[in-house]
Amino acid sequence: MKVTEVLLASLASCAAAYPSRAQSPKPPFFVLAGDSTTAVQSAGGGGWGDGFLNTTLFNGASGRNLGHNGATTVSFRTGGDWAEVLATVKKSKDAYRPFVTIQFGHNDQKPAANISLSQYTKNLEGLVKEVLDAGATPILVTPLSRRGYETSSGTPRIVQNLANETAATIQAAHSMDVKVIDLNKASTDYLNAIGPDNAYTYNLNPTDYTHLNGPGSVVFGGIVADLIIQVESDLAKDGYLKVDKTLKKDVNEGVYYWS
């Protein structure tokens, strides 16, 4: 064979050995586990989950919001929600690459829940282990900031009443060597930048400083997506996860955004 023929044959062999771009990994499927600050908007709550699923997933990516109003790391399991998460992972594995986001804390910290900080951490670690055992990728999420402000410094600043749960979530991620996104910090930074009057427009109702309305879900869902891209950059490179450019710019610059 001529040298050129040998070279062409070699290139053809390499092309057969390595998959083409059309054979790229399966699209992601996000299963969202958490409390009402993740859940679908309703009279009793609502979080970032639907905004994330409905505005940031593309190119065949999909997901399911299994956030549950009032849930703790204990009740989410005992009430059957966690079993539904694992069942959804199992069903999605043939066609998708499953991810499970895990965000709790708002209800675990309440005295009535009777869950110590150390138990909360262990509960998160247990959830992570089961996600790994199920063949999915867990992403721990620190709790979304509440929109309560204090003005002792003369400038309204978010009350840091989820700091312990945030630290425990990060600790659980480090202990289990899995990815974590700090939604608490990102949401706090944004809310501090835009101030209370703008922040309150995201309230589910005028006096609800915890849950999100539809536009709030879009904004904080976009923040979650941007944070996930930072720890799973391939999802953006493959076109599965995208954040509205104006939303991303405004959040990064501390400018109020309304969808």
- Which CATH number covers residue 155? 3.40.50.1110
Confidence at residue 20, expressed as pLDDT on a 0 to 100 scale = 39
| CA gap 44, 26 in Å, rounded | 35
Per-residue pLDDT tens for 120-135? 999 999 999 999 999 9
For the CA atoms of 224, 82, 127, 76, what is the dihedral angle to 10 degrees?
80
> Total structural domains in the chain?
1
Q: Are β-strands 179-181 and 157-158 bridged in parallel, bridged antiparallel, or unpaired? A: unpaired
Per-residue pLDDT tens for 13-24? 433 343 334 445
Domain extent for 247: 26-253
Closest CA to 121 of 164, 84, 78, 178: 164
Domain assignment present for 183: yes
Domain assignment present for 259: no
Domain assignment present for 200: yes
Is the CB of residue 44 less than 8 Å from the CB of residue 69?
yes
Percentage of the chain beyond pLDDT 70 is: 91
Q: What is the value of pTM for the model shown? A: 0.91
Domain assignment present for 258: no
Domain assignment present for 13: no
Which tokens is 65 given?
């919001």
Domain assignment present for 7: no
Buried/exposed 34-72: b ≥16 CB within 10 Å, e otherwise: bbbbbbbbeeebbbbbbbbbebbbeeebebbbbbbbbbb
Confidence at residue 24, expressed as pLDDT on a 0 to 100 scale = 54
